[in-house]
């Protein structure tokens, strides 16, 4: 998938998580394993993972949306 085909919500993450690996982001998502992204989002939702804003952001997405975004980010290089 290319950025134009991103699932709903994925491009809203681009302020902190650019959809490509060459960005040098301190919090990269592009190319990360989808399962790891889903696990992290679930931990943010539960408050089990420290966050500045991700705990609130994670609560705004359904499980299906998180899964779709995680798969899309895994495919980005």
Q: What's the distance, CA 44 to chain centroid?
A: 11
pLDDT digits (tens, 9 = 90+) for 21-76: 676 777 889 899 999 999 999 999 999 999 999 999 999 999 999 999 999 999 98
- What is residue 25's predicted lDDT score, i.e. its pLDDT? 74
- What is residue 27's predicted lDDT score, i.e. its pLDDT? 83
CA dihedral in degrees (21, 24, 26, 30; nearest 10)?
-10
Token duo for residue 15: 């302020």
- What is residue 1's predicted lDDT score, i.e. its pLDDT? 43
- What is residue 42's predicted lDDT score, i.e. its pLDDT? 97
């Amino acid at each position: 998938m290319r950025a134009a085909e991103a699932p709903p919500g994925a491009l809203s993450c681009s302020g902190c998580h650019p959809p490509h690996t060459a960005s040098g982001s301190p919090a990269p998502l592009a190319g990360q394993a989808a399962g790891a992204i889903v696990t992290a989002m679930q931990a943010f939702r539960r408050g089990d993972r420290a966050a500045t804003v991700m705990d609130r952001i994670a609560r705004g997405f359904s499980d299906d949306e998180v899964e779709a975004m995680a798969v899309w980010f895994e495919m980005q290089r």
